[in-house]
Structure 1
Amino acid sequence: MPILEICQLKIKPHLSKDDPSLLSALQKARTELREKVVNTQSRFYRCIEDPSLIYVLGIWPSLNRHKEFLASPHKAEILDAQDELFDFQWIIHTNFSDAGWDAVPLSAPVMGIARLFIKPEGVKPYQAVVDKYGKVVEDGTKPYKGLMEWRVDCEEGKFEHVFLTGWEKEGDHAAFTKRTREEHLEYAGVRENYEGMDVKHARDMEK
């Protein structure tokens, strides 16, 4: 089954956030991956809340295939040049639909990237709320698609659910969440199952 890679990078503090070499380096790596390893079809997003953060989204045939690349000589050949531009922050993987990018809100002006860290005892009640209110979220983010998947590479005993949602403008996500919590008390209580969360918003760097 294909998996989605989400990687967060931080621009080196001495570099301008608008330095054109940043996007050029990312695009070069994407081309070299396609030619030498796997066509990851990578997409690049800049965080709105903190413009020094960049998200790289890419498709891999499997988690093992990505791990093989990271342990191979190709990794240094393709990615080490970026060490002068970025500091690595984190990388996660989720299951991915066979629909590919059609399952992700790439056409949205703003993408919400949410990492929800779920308590072990909260997984079942959390999933029940997600199942019950999934249609509400789907309707609230129209016309954009939304991806809701569990992370597949958590440490043992850890659970993380990932949401990618599309919005017209900054602030729409928070307004939707506030309205939905007010209208559906059960949905509002889902946070009781969280150990923590990281919610950011980003724009496509190539648009």
Structure 2
Amino acid sequence: MSVIEITQLRLKGLTVDEPELLKSLSLVRGQLRTNSRFFSCIEDSSLIFIFGVWPSLDAHLEFLASPARDEVLGPQEDILDFRWTVHLELDSASLLLLDAPFIAIERLNVDPGHIVAYDGVIKEHVRHLQKTESLKVTHGWRCDMPTGSHELVILTSSGSTRPHFTFADERIVPSHDSNNKGAYQKISTHHAWNMERTRSDA
């Protein structure tokens, strides 16, 4: 099954507004044919996010372990430091979200004993956000986690930087679990703007 790769990188030696950055990212996109989108973090302009599509999780992992990895990505090592990567199955995350000017990326760790309950609550949270016309929301469980570990990723795209409630902000818990808010842990929440669109698109 096709997967979406979400990778966070930190800039070094240049800023997000320098043409060299987008030129380098676009060159790699063309070589890998991953239909990638590029976003710059609003909270920290030294961070960028790359969203790319791979035929399968194995296809991406095999590339990273191959000599082609150094050939394609090696030239970027002078300007980018790797931070983390997550993978979602493509049917759980729509590429249409990634064409928006702005996107929020929320990562949550969920206790193994609460997966079913939290999956239902997340879906209700998504339905609530989708009632707002300016927001498009999707979510999915990471497909690259070790056995026994479970991480949820929520993606919310919009046409403006107007804040919206994240799952963690709303402090939602399953009704039978109201005394156990430790069943999930927020890993991170970032807001980002599409580097191939202008910030005035909002």
Per the normalisation by structure 2, the TM-score is: 0.84
Distance in 2 between the 1:111 and 1:55 partners? 10
In structure 2, what is the equivalent of residue 200 of structure 1? Answer: 190
Paired amino acid for 1:61: P
In structure 2, what is the equivalent of residue 139 of structure 1? Answer: 131
Residue 96 in structure 1 maps to residue 87 in structure 2: no
User: Is the CA contact (8 Å cut-off) linking 2:129 and 2:135 kept in structure 1?
Assistant: no
Residue 5 in structure 1 maps to residue 5 in structure 2: yes
Superposition pairs of residues 156-195 of structure 1, within 5 angstroms: 156-174=147-165, 181=170, 192-195=182-185
Structure 2: state its 5+ residue gaps.
198-202
Structure 1: state its 5+ residue gaps.
34-38
- What fraction of aligned residue pairs are identical, expressed as a percent? 36
Q: Which runs of 4+ in 1 moved over 3 A?
A: 131-134, 174-178, 184-187, 189-192
**Shift in CA distance, 114/2, structure 1 to aligned 2, threshold 3 Å:** same
Q: C-alpha deviations, 1:127-174, integer Å up to 9, x for none?
A: 12123443212223x344322000011123211001110123324224
**Shift in CA distance, 135/56, structure 1 to aligned 2, threshold 3 Å:** same
SS in 2 for 1:130: helix
Superposition pairs of residues 40-79 of structure 1, within 5 angstroms: 40-79=34-73
Per the normalisation by structure 1, the TM-score is: 0.83
Q: Between Structure 1 and Structure 2, how many residues are aligned? A: 194
In structure 2, what is the equivalent of residue 30 of structure 1? Answer: 29
Q: C-alpha deviations, 1:16-56, integer Å up to 9, x for none?
A: 332221111101101111xxxxx210010000000100000
**Shift in CA distance, 18/132, structure 1 to aligned 2, threshold 3 Å:** closer
**Shift in CA distance, 80/186, structure 1 to aligned 2, threshold 3 Å:** same
